[in-house]
Amino acid sequence: MRRVLVLGEFRADRLVPPLLRAGAHVTVLGFADLTGFLDPRVTCAPLPKALTEEDLRVLIDEHRADLVVPGMSSPGQEQMLTLYARVGHSDGRSVSRSVGRFDGGARMPVHSAAFATLACDKVALHRQAARRGWPVPAGVVCEHPGQLGGAARQVGFPLLVKEARSESFAGRHFVRGTSRLTALSSSLTYPVLVQQAIQGEEFAVELLTLPTGTAQWPVTALGALDGDCAPGRRARVQPALLPAPARLALSALVRDIVETSRPWGPWQLDFALTRDGQRLHLFEINGRFGGVSNMSWTSTGTDPHLAHAQAVLHDRLPEHTHAVRAALELPVPNGTTLPLPPVGTTLSAFTANPGYPGPATSGVHRAVLAATPAHAPAVRDWLRQLPAGTLLLTVDSALARLEQGMAALSAEATRGARTTPSAVAARFPRPTPRTGR
């Protein structure tokens, strides 16, 4: 029987079942108590919060793992990706090696060290973007507090200050003026990136890369950018249609990241479009699936976490990652009961995860409504009839996201009618290596 060790508890409820169905003995290591959350056949144990390469090797040996699956996104675990990359690629081969094999014999499919660094270090990402010509906002790296003032003058207010290495929702500060920058300077962990605050709309896209290519789920619209840097408190929708120049820029960016940094497994891009909708700005690379995956599953019918499990078991990309319905995510206060959705639509509240109780986080619950264009009129009426205070945003903003999703869904259906299945699945073949530009 194959022995599989999963590192991290985030969305283990969706990653583990296909591993069990394949006949594996599965152990999940996490920070949270997983008692009663997973199948009783799963062995659960603590993941040390302070973990070294040697510690991880000992854990792999202790659990006699044949296959090690890094799974992240729980608080305190995202920065472990660089550690996983070092252990998974410990045989010293180049970054073109896409599947690691631990010295003791365990297989550990994991992102390359180069990609892990981009996903975990915002300063490293900014510098790589400058070298490769990736479209990122204007920014200046500061090694100590004395450089902040000059960087702010160069970039201009408002701006974002990003600590190089930090977990989700931490180490990122929206700064409107000099007084706030001065107050912030002594509390930062340097180096930091001082970056232009883009005015426009934020987007995300999830991808899964294997040696055979990359599968892409539809683009998600996260709503208008604001000073809170909290897209989870806005209405969000998938799919979202990008203008042609932005679609081309995104495709070129994905191809170059795959070619130069060699991801293996799940990843996500966060980016924005300027108000004129023509210029794309890359904000962040994440080396995992996160909160957007609920919408990816709802809109396409293909769960990214299940696809990840199939990838590590069979080295296989999903066949179907195009949208067949719009997935509208609505933030409401925890404990709120939404009325029944319109006939023909579905309203889902995804299971909370121990230690990371999404979709109920920070007093917010995020429900996902699935609908096709035929149901759009009924959904509009349903939104307008919600009692005041039900949504943590205006009904007009929810309606705007709904229209965005329906327009993208119609456009994708039109493209699908004249496109081959492999192209509809948004596959990017693995390019041949090249040097320079």
Taking the C-alpha atoms of residue 9 and residue 380, their distance in angstroms, rounded to an integer, is: 37
pLDDT reported for residue 95: 31
- Four-CA torsion 97, 102, 107, 109, nearest 10 degrees: -50
- Tens digit of each residue's pLDDT (9 = 90 or more) over 141-169: 999 999 999 999 999 999 999 999 988 76
* Pairing verdict, β 67-70 and 25-30: unpaired
Taking the C-alpha atoms of residue 363 and residue 206, their distance in angstroms, rounded to an integer, is: 26
- Four-CA torsion 359, 361, 365, 370, nearest 10 degrees: -30
For residue 84, give the H/E element and its range: helix 81-88
In this model, does residue 195 exceed pLDDT 80? yes
Degrees, nearest 5: CA angle 113-76-291:
85
Average pLDDT, stretch 127-143?
97
Residue 231, preceding peptide bond in cis (omega within 30° of 0):
no
pLDDT reported for residue 267: 98
Taking the C-alpha atoms of residue 340 and residue 361, their distance in angstroms, rounded to an integer, is: 23
274: alpha, beta or left? (left if phi > 0; alpha if psi -120 to 50)? beta
pLDDT reported for residue 436: 33
φ, ψ (nearest 5 deg) of residue 271: -150, 175
Residue 422's pLDDT band (cuts 50, 70, 90): very low
pLDDT reported for residue 430: 42
Across 101-115, 339-353, 419-433, least confident range: 419-433
Across 50-54, 284-288, 332-336, least confident range: 332-336
pLDDT reported for residue 35: 85
pLDDT reported for residue 250: 97
Confidence (pTM): 0.90
Average pLDDT, the chain: 88
Residue 427's pLDDT band (cuts 50, 70, 90): very low
Taking the C-alpha atoms of residue 139 and residue 120, their distance in angstroms, rounded to an integer, is: 18
Residues pairing with 140 in the sheet? 194
Three-class SS of residue 142?
A: strand
Residue 96's pLDDT band (cuts 50, 70, 90): very low
CB of 163 closer than 8 Å to CB of 194: no
Residue 412's pLDDT band (cuts 50, 70, 90): confident
- Pick the closest to residue 72 from 64, 81, 63 (CA basis): 81
CB of 376 closer than 8 Å to CB of 402: yes
In this model, does residue 90 exceed pLDDT 70? no
- Provide CB contacts within 8 A for 182, sequence distance 6+: none
Widest CA span in the chain: 61
Taking the C-alpha atoms of residue 92 and residue 407, their distance in angstroms, rounded to an integer, is: 48
Taking the C-alpha atoms of residue 289 and residue 66, their distance in angstroms, rounded to an integer, is: 23
In this model, does residue 186 exceed pLDDT 90? yes
pLDDT reported for residue 230: 67
Residues pairing with 75 in the sheet? none
Average pLDDT, stretch 292-315?
97
- Tens digit of each residue's pLDDT (9 = 90 or more) over 283-298: 999 999 988 999 999 9
Across 128-142, 144-158, 187-201, 339-353, least confident range: 339-353
For residue 163, give the H/E element and its range: strand 159-163
Residue 428's pLDDT band (cuts 50, 70, 90): very low
- Portion of the chain with pLDDT greater than 90, in percent: 74
pLDDT reported for residue 423: 33
pLDDT reported for residue 111: 97
DSSP 8-state code for residue 18: H
- Tens digit of each residue's pLDDT (9 = 90 or more) over 69-82: 998 888 889 999 99
pLDDT reported for residue 420: 34
